[in-house]
Amino acid sequence: MNTLKIGDKAPNFIGTDELGKTHKLEDFKSKKLVVFFYPKASTPGCTTEACELRDNYDRFINANYALLGVSADSKERQQKFKEKNNLPFPLIADEDKQLINAFGVWGPKKFMGKEYDGIHRTTFVIDENGIIEDVISKVKTKEHSAQILK
């Protein structure tokens, strides 16, 4: 796993959200962009994280941030996750793992004694110039907004 670091240029990504809309890095030049990668839509930790960000969404907007969630789930699963939890930000359906690999968040994981490859819950804060300003690899799902907006 080769995760990007603070000071790196963010990948010039293109991703498609739950509604089929395309999002590119250049779309966010006038804002700071939070790209949060999560393992699987509608699982307990991912739901807690997304809802915590939702509950603080006005704070992000007022501080000139945009948010993008990314997982390898299908558009349909992302749409159900978004609708069920009333999430106000786009969710990228990265089934081919282009963004996941570009940001370096795919790799070996352990859960309940088993090893497997998967998405590491990681958040990147990208400044208005496309430079990674912060990388949060130890995401606290119940306090994630505070980690980002410190």
Q: List pLDDT tens digits, range 80-116.
A: 999 999 999 999 999 999 999 999 999 998 878 889 8
Percent of the chain with pLDDT over 90: 92
Predicted TM-score (pTM) of the model is 0.95
pLDDT higher than 90, residue 2:
no
Q: Give the separation between CA 82 and CA 43, rounded to whole angstroms.
A: 13
Residue 66 C-alpha from the chain's centroid: 11
* Placement of tokens 């819950």 in the chain: 121
Residue 1's pLDDT is 63
Q: Do you know the residue count of the chain?
A: 150
3-state SS of the chain? CCCCCCCCECCCCEEEECCCCEEEHHHHCCCEEEEEECCCCCCHHHHHHHHHHHHCHHHHHHCCEEEEEEECCCHHHHHHHHHHHCCCCCEEECCCCHHHHHCCCEEEEEECCEEEEEECCEEEEECCCCEEEEEECCCCCCCHHHHHCC
Cβ proximity of 122 and 107 under 8 Å: no
Question: At residue 144, what is the residue type?
Answer: H
Structure confidence by residue, pLDDT tens digits, 112-149: 888 989 999 999 999 999 999 999 999 999 999 999 99
Catalytic residue among 10, 35, 46, 92: 46
User: Residue 3's pLDDT is what?
Assistant: 80
At residue 58, the pLDDT reads 97
Catalytic residue list contains 46? yes
**∠ CA 83-88-90 to the nearest 5 degrees?**
85
pLDDT in tens, 60-77: 999 999 999 999 999 999
Q: Please tell me the predicted confidence (pLDDT) of residue 61.
A: 97
- The pLDDT of residue 150 is 85
